[in-house]
Structure 1
Amino acid sequence: MTVSQPLALYVHWPFCVSKCPYCDFNSHVREEVDQARWRDALLADLAHEAALLPGRRLGSVFFGGGTPSLMPPETVAAVLRAAEDAWGFAGDVEITLEANPSSVEAARFGDLAAAGVNRVSLGLQALDDDALRFLGRAHGVGEGLAALETAQAAFARVSFDLIYARPGQGLAAWEAELARALAFGTEHLSLYQLTIEPGTRFATLAAKGDLVIPEGDAAADLFETTQAMTRAAGLPRYEVSNHARPGAESRHNLTYWRYGDYAGIGPGAHGRRGGLATARHRKPENWLAAVDRNRHGNQTEDALSPEQRASEALVMGLRMAEGIRIDPARVDLDVVDALVRHGLLVRDGLHVATTEAGILLLDSILPAIARD
């Protein structure tokens, strides 16, 4: 990675109003948050990373969480001013903030846009009130769609998330829900099959047999229908779960998947800095204490071997429709060619990509082709 390539900055805001039963992200519920202290701590953490990554220009900033739309717009503005002062922004800098579609948070969209946010990722998650209750969401469909309308008026670019392959969700029901979602005309959709993550409330229910989600052929049918409908609507898959009009892909996430450098600040944030893997303290209080003590919240900083970097790049690159240029010293080309014959991969010289059939088997393909 050369210093001429844009850098990405990830800012983690860990707080949520409540914990969703499917969520294994680093999110926490707190009755009170000392906003001034948090703003100062984020700025200190940012300054630490900026000192270690000089001479770069930011191509993207992403406020993730947690629920970043709970951040005061003044804090968002302060972080963006500090980031621009430290690195400078590319002329087409993408500044994304994840948001919940509650009316309270939607009321802040204008102020967040004025603070510098130009892209919002809205957590609608479902277009069915029963499904939203099942997913533990605080909003209903009506409130969510009102927030989407507000977002489309406030921000230049809008994406929203949906979770499908829910218990009992048949193909016809998902087709109708996705058709409705595509009709809203956003440039980007993140469409995730529901997965049971360890340590979540859903995992506890699944272990008891009280929660069963579509798997096998049923899940594959839902995925294949999703691909066909989004392609027909002009939002093809560019990553396993992400769909966009050409040119409207998330540039921030493309930095991850193309294995570029990114700085991560805030509790639990990860980064990749010149061959080093960085990770912040996860618990908000521990991160704050570390910043008070050290002027940064970093917990670990590990040098990645060439083998580790090649493996990470391969994992990320094969998630994308565009694929990746492989290193023949790290990949078994005989296995790759066998998978090509089975229709799971395509290869042009040293450039390899997964097919629509292959993406469903990606977890099996990666260990099969990687050399030890």
Structure 2
Amino acid sequence: MTGSQDLALYVHWPFCVSKCPYCDFNSHVRATIDQAAWRDALLADLAHEAALLPGRRLTSVFFGGGTPSLMPPATVAAVLDAAVAAWPPAEGLEVTLEANPSSVEAARFADLARVGVNRVSLGLQSLDDAALRFLGRAHGAHEGLEALDVAQTAFPRVSFDLIYALPGQPIEAWNTELARALSFGTEHLSLYQLTIEPGTRFATEAAAGRLVIPDGDSAADLFEVTRGATAAAGLQAYETSNHARPDAESRHNLTYWRYRDYAGIGPGAHGRRGRLATVRRKKPENWLDAVTRNGHGIEREDRLDPRSRAVEALLMGLRLTEGVDLDRIASLANGDAPIDFRAVALLERQGLLIREGPRLRTTEVGALLLDGILEAVVRPDAVAA
């Protein structure tokens, strides 16, 4: 089976114990959840996608959220069983589940591993109690590290997240925290700079002047420290914020960044079926009602014209250290790559981009300025196409 027939599956579980002040994900707090109804609805939503995507090979499944570690293991098992029944799994199928590092959720790790989860992404976010309180996290640093220890025992593959560039965070403090994080021997780290997202409580605080994150120069210094420390520890950056040992990259996320097909089920989930972009209803109750009425939770299916697909592939692919294949970008655009090659040449002379045959990628310095590079290299007429 060719790579073009490969498919990833994203499953969104929208519920959390509490809403973090920096989070703009589709997450919701509910006093009660009808677990049987949710399991049945996820299976119906999956069956709808399976009927539209026959003959594919399943390469990865990702349970995201929200907090999918709050899902009953029986629900996870039912979704996985349905997925591999619908699509033959690739050898070494990657099954990732995002988890909060609380003792309650860590107690489920062994059961989740037994039903087929083989990779966990743990939302530690910080190793410092004061920072965790600032970030609105429900766990403390000690509880988080205990959960990491349980995860590394239960699952063959483990990743965890940290957030840096916090208000007033000295570079020395982040260097120390990062060194400690790297000492745990985890194969994959996702290291994100704090950003102020519209609609979050932090956005309200920032607008009122009560919250100020590091300026561009300070953030760049922290980024360089991060790249240097992870590379020295053998976890090379393979994407803007993601670092892994060789062959430990997130195969599922690489599907997004390499612009391959994926099915998305659950509230607010996005998907790509060839030239169609799918979007599920966002509010949990609306999604559940839609599945009951229609057999799926789809709100929109948008047909993507060739240039739109090429622009998406370019914007996603330049996040990767490996960069993008310009021939593929041109092919997606029916031969007319939506790239301003004069801007590319200028950025090459400035040491921000490297073009090697058909591949285009950012340099280490260019990775610091990715947003500006993306804006520069896309032809203006391509955005409106």
**Paired residues of 1:159 and 1:188 also in contact (CA < 8 A):** yes
CA distance in 2, matches of 1:229, 1:212: 26
Q: Secondary structure at the match of 1:130?
A: helix
Please name the residue that 2:324 is paired with.
324
Deviates more, 1:306-315 or 1:341-350: 341-350
Please name the residue that 1:272 is paired with.
272
**Paired residues of 2:160 and 2:189 also in contact (CA < 8 A):** yes
Please name the residue that 2:26 is paired with.
26
**Paired residues of 1:10 and 1:64 also in contact (CA < 8 A):** yes
Please name the residue that 1:314 is paired with.
314
Please name the residue that 1:13 is paired with.
13
Deviates more, 1:165-174 or 1:320-329: 320-329
Per-residue deviation, 1:241: 0.3
1:5–1:217 CA distance, 2 compared to 1 (3 A): same
Q: Secondary structure at the match of 2:345?
A: helix
Please name the residue that 1:345 is paired with.
353
Q: Does 1:359 align with 2:367?
A: yes
Per-residue deviation, 1:312: 0.2
Per-residue deviation, 1:350: 2.5
CA distance in 2, matches of 1:370, 1:125: 33
After superposition, the C-alpha distances for 1:126-175 in whole angstroms (9 at most, x for unaligned) are 00000000000000011000000000000000000000000110100000
CA distance in 1, matches of 2:227, 2:377: 25
Q: Does 1:65 align with 2:65?
A: yes
**Paired residues of 2:5 and 2:55 also in contact (CA < 8 A):** no
Please name the residue that 2:173 is paired with.
173
After superposition, the C-alpha distances for 1:38-78 in whole angstroms (9 at most, x for unaligned) are 00000000000000000001100000000000000000000
**Paired residues of 1:3 and 1:56 also in contact (CA < 8 A):** no
Figure out how many residues of one structure are paired with residues of the other and give that number.
372
Please name the residue that 2:377 is paired with.
369
CA distance in 1, matches of 2:21, 2:346: 41
Per-residue deviation, 1:4: 4.8
> What TM-score, normalized to structure 1?
0.99
Per-residue deviation, 1:5: 3.6
Any gaps of 5 or more consecutive residues in structure 2?
331-335
Q: Secondary structure at the match of 2:25?
A: coil
CA distance in 2, matches of 1:218, 1:3: 41
Deviates more, 1:35-44 or 1:362-371: 362-371
**Paired residues of 1:61 and 1:252 also in contact (CA < 8 A):** yes
**Paired residues of 1:45 and 1:296 also in contact (CA < 8 A):** yes
CA distance in 1, matches of 2:36, 2:305: 39
Per-residue deviation, 1:349: 2.3
Per-residue deviation, 1:357: 1.1
Once superposed, which parts of structure 1, at least 4 consecutive aligned residues long, lie more than 2 Å away? 1-5
**Paired residues of 1:57 and 1:88 also in contact (CA < 8 A):** yes
> What TM-score, normalized to structure 2?
0.95
After superposition, the C-alpha distances for 1:95-143 in whole angstroms (9 at most, x for unaligned) are 0000000000000000000110000000000000000000000000110
**Paired residues of 1:3 and 1:55 also in contact (CA < 8 A):** no
CA distance in 2, matches of 1:300, 1:258: 23
Please name the residue that 1:211 is paired with.
211
CA distance in 2, matches of 1:226, 1:362: 16
Any gaps of 5 or more consecutive residues in structure 1?
none
CA distance in 2, matches of 1:304, 1:251: 24
**Paired residues of 1:339 and 1:345 also in contact (CA < 8 A):** yes
Q: Secondary structure at the match of 2:204?
A: helix
Q: Secondary structure at the match of 1:22?
A: coil
Please name the residue that 2:239 is paired with.
239
After superposition, the C-alpha distances for 1:250-272 in whole angstroms (9 at most, x for unaligned) are 00000000000000000000000
CA distance in 1, matches of 2:337, 2:179: 45
Q: Secondary structure at the match of 1:122?
A: strand
CA distance in 1, matches of 2:265, 2:313: 22
Amino acid at match of 1:10: Y
Please name the residue that 1:143 is paired with.
143
Deviates more, 1:137-146 or 1:330-339: 330-339
Amino acid at match of 2:32: E
Q: Secondary structure at the match of 2:147?
A: helix
Q: Does 1:283 align with 2:286?
A: no
After superposition, the C-alpha distances for 1:325-370 in whole angstroms (9 at most, x for unaligned) are 1236321222111101101000012310011111121111112111
Please name the residue that 1:194 is paired with.
194
Q: Secondary structure at the match of 1:145?
A: helix
CA distance in 2, matches of 1:290, 1:236: 43
Q: Secondary structure at the match of 1:331?
A: coil
Q: Secondary structure at the match of 2:247?
A: coil
Please name the residue that 2:45 is paired with.
45
**Paired residues of 2:351 and 2:366 also in contact (CA < 8 A):** yes
Please name the residue that 1:229 is paired with.
229
Please name the residue that 1:132 is paired with.
132
Please name the residue that 2:333 is paired with.
none
Amino acid at match of 1:64: G
CA distance in 2, matches of 1:223, 1:276: 35
Superposition RMSD on alpha carbons, in Å? 1.1
Please name the residue that 1:185 is paired with.
185
